[in-house]
Amino acid sequence: MSPKSRIIEALTFCLKQKSTKDFKFNKATAYAGLSDLYEYYALENKTEQFFEAFEQLCTIPNDYLIGDNPMLDSFIIQLEKVFHPQKKEKPFIRPTPWWEIERSRLLALAEDHAPCYVYHSPTQTAQAQKLLSMQSIDTLFYAIKANPHPSILKTLEKEGIGFECVSIQELQQISSLFPHIDKKRILFTPNFAPKIEYAAAMDLGCYVTIDNLYPLTNWPELFKNREIIVRIDPGVGAGHHKHVVTGGNESKFGIAQNDIEQLKTLTQEHHIHVIGLHSHSGSGILTPELWEQTALMLTSLLKQFPRAQFINLGGGLGIVEKPGQKHLDLKQLDSTLLAIKSNFSHVQFWMEPGRFFVAESGIILARVTQCKEKGEVQFIGIETGMNSLIRPSLYGAYHEIVNLTRLHSEPSGVSHIVGPICESGDTLGYDRILPTTQEGDVLLIAHTGAYGHCMSSYYNLRPPAQEIILES
């Protein structure tokens, strides 16, 4: 039996598990379904499991019943979902990304400047306007650690966005760029910072957040008769990787809820005024329920801190990065928060996103240096790697990768995309489906506007990709 015949036979069996007697099988659909399922497993770095399960599926007897083999059951269920989604929802159609529209300009830029980051200012403006349309949020701050490029900061400042800073250097960056800015548009939220940084922020006149009892216990004179915001640990965290989870006992961030009574005692004893409550759970969240839980938790503490005027819901707003993901429903989020806020008319709601503002506005352009086959594994090497973008190595982050030179060519195979850095972890994408790729082709790595260049290094003495601004 040919491989194609085995595929058809296996797929037919899978679908007939729960289908009617009148089921009609379409071979083209089957091939497409298998491709979708493979991509699902590839995104989870489970291609070996895919092939193992598929081989078993092709040989199992016709009387096989769900429940006999956990791995095979999972495979069948996932395939069933590909062909017969449990919920008939209107599919999310991703708008054409800006970089596809600007393809010709980007290819021209790559000739002289690759490897390079390119930041698209109109996309930053558009993302800011999405959040500004939320009626439940009174004030927005941009977490500048995501990308402190001066052009980005100027774009967001024009939209009325404030700035969340986590170091004295970030405070200095904002003060230098915007010497006349209202200091109440600056939020300082350090973590384990030295005493001198808290003192500098207090003198500057911006909002200051405390996320640890230590400063209040050991430096009470610094905060006496001052107004502060306190960061409360939500108790649980969330996010796409353990290194972006910022809640729970294993996280270094926030004051434990069990310590709230001690927090009250310290602030009352030293005449420290708590004017705001803050919490943050993690990054890359696509479900509105997280902020609902945060808002409910923080508002439940308002009676214990009667001078509190602000509820800072943190950031972590996710963007669609992988095929099949659903976008964050901002309208639902807004409606949910408005319902909670209606019971607290004297309290403002804040948010401090980073990635949401800038991730989609940034890409990396890099030329292909070499292509290599090693057994059944194909590698495509490009001229920069984890020295420019460490997120895939550090977080297991997924970034869409396309061959911009051959953007509309037919896919020809699966490859690992790697850089020139002498580390096994210098892989930017595993099992990516690309067209036939050659030396000199320009690859594009998407969604790199956040936590890209600002986390880069000169490892191996290779300079990271330079930064270029595309205004329109």
Closest CA to 227 of 280, 267, 196: 267
- Tell how far CA 235 is from the center of its chain: 21
| Beta pairing class for 401-403 and 442-445 | antiparallel
In DSSP terms, 186 is beta-bridged to 163
Q: What is the pLDDT of residues 362-399, one digit of tens each?
A: 999 999 999 999 888 899 999 999 999 999 999 889 99
Q: Which pLDDT does position 9 carry in this prediction? A: 60
**What is the average pLDDT across 58-82?**
68
H/E run at residue 371? strand 362-374
So what CATH class is 360-470? mainly beta
Residue 380 CB partners (closer than 8 Å, separation 6+): 368, 371, 415, 416, 417, 418, 434, 437, 443
As given in the structure block, the two tokens for residue 442 are 């320009």
How far apart are the C-alpha atoms of 37 and 14, rounded to whole Å? 13
CB 429 within 8 A of CB 393: no
CB 403 within 8 A of CB 443: yes
How far apart are the C-alpha atoms of 459 and 385, rounded to whole Å? 10
Name the pLDDT band for 10 (thresholds 50, 70, 90). low
Q: Which pLDDT does position 34 carry in this prediction? A: 73
Q: Taking 50 as the threshold, does the pLDDT of residue 205 lie above it?
A: yes
Query: Would you list the domain boundaries of the chain?
Result: 3-83, 121-358, 360-470
3-state class of 457 per DSSP?
coil
How far apart are the C-alpha atoms of 102 and 73, rounded to whole Å? 44
How far apart are the C-alpha atoms of 299 and 325, rounded to whole Å? 31
Q: What is the pLDDT of residues 128-150, one digit of tens each?
A: 999 999 999 999 999 999 999 99
In DSSP terms, 276 is beta-bridged to 229, 310
Q: Which pLDDT does position 243 carry in this prediction? A: 39
Residue 132 CB partners (closer than 8 Å, separation 6+): 140, 159, 160
3-state class of 46 per DSSP?
coil
**What is the average pLDDT across 431-448?**
96
Q: Which pLDDT does position 238 carry in this prediction? A: 46
Higher pLDDT, 47 or 256: 256
Angle at 262 between CA 257 and CA 264, to 5 degrees: 90
Peptide bond into 85 cis (omega under 30): no
Classify domain 121-358 at the CATH superfamily level. Answer: Alanine racemase (3.20.20.10)
Q: What is the pLDDT of residues 398-413, one digit of tens each?
A: 999 999 999 999 998 8
Q: Which pLDDT does position 404 carry in this prediction? A: 98
Q: Taking 90 as the threshold, does the pLDDT of residue 425 lie above it?
A: yes
The active-site residue, picked from 58, 165, 422, 454, is 422
CB 229 within 8 A of CB 310: yes
Q: Which pLDDT does position 83 carry in this prediction? A: 61
Task: Note whether 121-358 and 360-470 share their fold.
Answer: no
CB count within 10 Å of CB 95 equals 7
Closest CA to 323 of 413, 398, 429, 403: 398
Number of H helices and number of E strands within the chain? Answer: 17, 16
Residue 342 CB partners (closer than 8 Å, separation 6+): none
Q: Taking 60 as the threshold, does the pLDDT of residue 417 lie above it?
A: yes
As given in the structure block, the two tokens for residue 251 are 């996280």
Name the pLDDT band for 22 (thresholds 50, 70, 90). very low
Verify whether residue 422 is a known catalytic residue. Answer: yes
Closest CA to 78 of 105, 111, 109, 43: 43
Closest CA to 386 of 444, 426, 417, 418: 426
In DSSP terms, 468 is beta-bridged to 118
How far apart are the C-alpha atoms of 321 and 300, rounded to whole Å? 34
Residue 292 CB partners (closer than 8 Å, separation 6+): 336, 337, 340
E strands, 108-203, in order: 116-120, 139-143, 162-165, 186-188
Name the pLDDT band for 41 (thresholds 50, 70, 90). confident
Helix axes 3-16, 47-59, angle to 10 degrees: 80
CB 421 within 8 A of CB 388: no
Closest CA to 38 of 3, 75, 77, 1: 75
